[in-house]
Amino acid sequence: MFFLCVSLSFTALEVECLSSDGQALLSLLSAADPYYKKSSPVLSSWNPSNPTPCSWQGITCSPQERVISLSIPDTFLNLSSLPSDLSSLSSLQLLNLSSTNISGSIPPSFGSLTQLRLLDLSSNSLSGPIPSELGKLTLLQFLFLNSNRLTGAIPQQLANLSSLQLGLLTNLTTFGAAATGLSGVIPPTFGNLINLQTLALYDTEVFGSIPSELGLCSELRNLYLHMNKLTGSIPPELGKLQKLTSMLLWGNSLSGSIPPELSNCSSLVVLDVSANDLSGEIPGDLGKLDVLEQLHLSDNALTGSIPWRLSNCTSLIALQLDKNQLSGPIPGQIGELKNLQSFFLWGNSVSGTIPPEFGNCTELYALDLSRNKLTGSIPEEVFGLKKLSKLLLLGNSLTGELPRSVARCQSLVRLRLGENQLSGQIPKEIGQLQNLVFLDLYMNHFSGGLPPEIGNISVLELLDVHNNYITGNIPSQLGALVNLEQLDLSRNSFTGEIPWSFGNFSYLNKLILNNNLLTGAIPKSIRNLQKITLLDLSFNSFSGPIPPEIGYLTSLTISLDLKANRFIGEIPETMSGLTQLQSLDLSSNLLYGRISVLSVLTSLTFLNVSCNNFSGPIPVTPFFHTLTMNSFVENPHLCQSLDGSTCSSRLMRRNGLKSAKTIALVAVILISVTMAVVATWIIVARNHKYVIEKSGMPSSSTEEDFSYPWTFIPFQKLNFSIENILNCLRDENVIGKGCSGVVYKAEMPNGELVAVKKLWRTKKDEEPIDSFAAEIQILGHIRHRNIVKLLGYCSNKSVKLLLYNFIPNGNLQQLLQNNRNLDWETRYKIAVGSAQGLAYLHHDCLPTILHRDVKCNNILLDSKYEAYLADFGLAKLMNSPNYQQAMSRVAGSYGYIAPGKCLLNFLITVFNQDCFPVIWFLTKYGYTVNITEKSDVYSYGVVLLEILSGRSAVEPQIGDGLHIVEWVKKKMGSFEPAVSVLDPKLQGLPDQLVQEMLQTLGIAMFCVNSSPAERPTMKEVVALLMEVKSPPEESGKTSQPLIKQSSNQS
């Protein structure tokens, strides 16, 4: 103990001997992470026994031994806040704490460091506003605050020349606050920063217009305002900045035309105004910028022709004009740009031929003229470019043959010529392109055989020649393409067998051979395709059994399509290993035996086994319950079963029911007799065999007819055509399949992503609710931030397409199943957004609209987890002429249908939630169910329970086979705490957040009340949810997950 006291006293004495600047620095050292303090070579040199800190690493002193520089970037301090003691370093001129893992706010006391020339706090986790006290730093030249979490507006004081209290910042040369949460407008007083050389305010929340006063910053070299929310026009006054070298304004919402005055910025090297809403023509005066190296004008609405005077920009390296509305020819003067390396013009309406003068651009490595209206042949001069790496000419009207001179361009990595009218044979010389990675020749008029020499391109990753007129056998030499990832030979006239060498494709993920004349068996070497995700062999003449080797392709996730071949035999047991497969089509073959092996494919969303000779019971699983009879038609010995293993001996006849008891029961049901009689029928039905009636099924649909005429009706201005849509309806673009149709991800020529839903065809002699007409009638005029926007629809005599905004982040069910760290804030945001969308349908639309299928699958999410209601396939106007018919149909999805005093729920209860025979019976015999807004409310309540619990409405882990509502009620009625209902990942949070979740749980139980009259309206639900959130300052204490809630529900 004595030794410890002496040591402590000695240490205190040492610190007292240290200069005041050194003691201020020790406050930084004492707050640093203890572990890194010892291991850091910088911090370990800070010895308190030194009389001054001048020998410490990162410290520079003046001759008077005052600290003038503290620079320790990339040193892991792990500070929860910046010590205010640092403000006592009154001689400090340079403070660099970038990338040191500091959180907290910027101390206002830093405003007293009046000698500072450079302040760099970038790349930390600082939050809160920028203190206005920094306006006192009159000598500051460099201010770097970028890559933090700062919020609030930019202080006017930073540039207020008239503020005597805060002083001046006229010496500031660099202001960087990029990649922060700063908001507000750019202060016009920034024009007073006469020495400012760099203004970096990119990737923030800054909005408003660009102040014209920035034109007064005559020393400005770099103007970085990209990735903000700026609006208005580009000020012509910026043309006064003759020293400006970089102007980056991309990624805003700027409108109007490009000011010709920018041509006065004679020092400009980079001009990037892409990804805005600019219109008008490209000013020809920009050709005066003779030192300009990069001109980026893409993704705007620019019109007119390409000015030939741009050829005067002889220093130009990159010219990007893509995704505009430019027209006219490409000027031949483009060949005068000898330094040009990249030229992007795709997604315009440029016409005429490709200028052979491109051959003079000897530095060119990327040329993209896709999605225009170019005609004529590909000039051979292009293939003389020794540095050309990427040549993309997709989606034009180019004709003629692909010249053999293509082999001269040995630098080619990507050659994409699809969607043209090129003809003749594919030249064998193409096999000499040893650097080629992508070869796209699809949708042309190529004929003859596929050159075996292509097998020499050892680095090739994509080969796509679909939709041509290619004949002959598939060359076995293609098996040498060991790096191939995608091979599409579909829609040609290939004959013969699949080469055994295809087993060498160890990296292949998509093999598409459909619509050819291929024969023989599938080679067993296919087992080696261990990365395959999509295999399409449909519409050929393959024969023999399905090889068991297919069952070992466990990477198959997207689709396995074997339809319309001559496969014979049973489904191999090994196919039970395809547990990740989403789509399986075995229709129109000669297969027989049972389909029970398919019951374990739990990831399936689409299945078709129609037009075979299968027999035995249809598996009893939730997925099989969702399938329509179209999936099983033309299998006369398939039957419906209650237990999935046996069928009743009393089969249904084709034109009636064999059982007289069942006929009598139907009559009883139709006149709505007592539930006791219904129960008697159910007892009989438990032992009754449901066999798919051939005469009662829609006939097997043939391949869709995409012929003209087409009707294309947009609900807003669209910059693409029906041809653009049809070109995207390819298997590799499928992103989902459901009971209403198949959904494609389609990229339009202007770069816009669209979700295209192709509806399944229905029987011609059946008149169900027309889901297509219902969606068009309702969705075409709906505009709400939480409802997927319908852009338009297309139809011909047999195909119906709905065009939606593409929502990129999947659906709520996927998020709940896959995201292990989904926090309460995100869940609450999704809950409120989906409720607001549903409330809009119920209360703000005239007449009222019902969703009728609210479930997690139909709540889509964008990259910021904003919720969007989707899939209105059963929606119907409540007071439309067909209201009674619409409301009389079974609607909703299993697990989300509200309980009520009706036959539907009684049957589901007696059948232990086995809905398939129930839905079959109700649909066939016209039983009616009343659907109201309160049905949607109940379904939303189920969704809310799923959000809170992380469980699905119906899933194996819910104990005793209970539906989630019953499971929650059982939990609430027991002695378990209410928080036991919550997702375990949400437990242990601060008390206030737990109370918010429990309050939301109460709202959910309010929604799933068994009595529709007792349920709230969606407008009330939104109001209740908005009341849940409390101010942030009230959520500080930590909770133990032991909160008990009464079992009585309001």
The binding site for ATP consists of 758
**853 belongs to the catalytic site:** yes
Between the CA of residue 1039 and those of 667, 983, 994, 1000, what are the distances in Å? 60, 15, 7, 17
Residues 1024, 1004 contacting (CB under 8 angstroms): no
Q: Are 590 and 568 in contact (CB under 8 A)?
A: yes
3-state secondary structure (DSSP) of residue 345: coil
The residue behind tokens 């002429």 is 881
Runs of H (alpha helix) within 580-711: 622-626, 660-670, 675-686
- Counting every residue written for the chain, the total comes to 1050
Cβ(504)–Cβ(498) below 8 Å: no
**In this structure, what token pair is assigned to residue 500?**
């055994």
| Rounded-to-integer distance, Cα 453 and Cα 467, Å | 21
Query: How far is residue 693's CA from residue 636's CA, in Å, rounded to a whole number?
Result: 8
Q: 327-328 and 349-352: which strand pairing?
A: parallel
Render the burial of 430-455: b for 16+ CB within 10 Å, e for the rest.
bbbbeebbbbbbbbbebeeebbbbbb
Task: Give the C-alpha separation, 875 to 883, whole Å.
Answer: 11
Of 110, 43, 111, nearest to 76 by C-alpha is 43
User: Any bridge partners for residue 277, and if so which?
Assistant: 255
Pairing of the two strands 118-120 and 142-144: parallel
Q: What contacts 1032, CB < 8 A, 6 or more positions away?
A: none
CB 400 within 8 A of CB 423: yes
Tokens standing for residue 266 = 């004679």
Q: Is 341 helix (H, G, I), strand (E, B) or coil?
A: coil
Q: In b/e form, how buried is each residue of 1012-1041, taking b as 16+ CB within 10 angstroms? A: beebbebbbbbebbeebbeeeeebeeebee
The DSSP result for 755-815, as a single string, is EEEEEPP--TT-----HHHHHHHHHTT---TTBPPEEEEEE-SS-EEEEEE--TT-BHHHH
The pair phi, psi for residue 859, each rounded to 5°, is -115, 105
Q: Are 505 and 534 a contacting pair, CB within 8 Å?
A: no
**Active-site position among 203, 853, 871, 914:** 853
CA distances from 345 to 254, 257, 295, 323, 738 (A): 21, 19, 12, 7, 38
C-alpha closest to that of 217 among 242, 246, 234: 242
Q: Are 550 and 526 in contact (CB under 8 A)?
A: yes
- The two tokens of residue 833 are 């957004």
Query: What are the tokens at 555?
Result: 């990477």
Q: Where are the beta strands (DSSP E) in 474-513?
A: 486-488, 493-496, 510-512
Q: Map tokens 């979700």 to a residue.
A: 755
Q: Which strands make up the sheet holding 301-303, listed edge to edge?
A: 255-256, 277-281, 301-303
Q: Which amino acid is at 668?
A: V
| Sign (positive or negative) of CA dihedral 961, 966, 969, 974 | negative
Phi, psi of 390 (to 5 degrees): -130, 120
Q: Which residues are catalytic?
A: 853
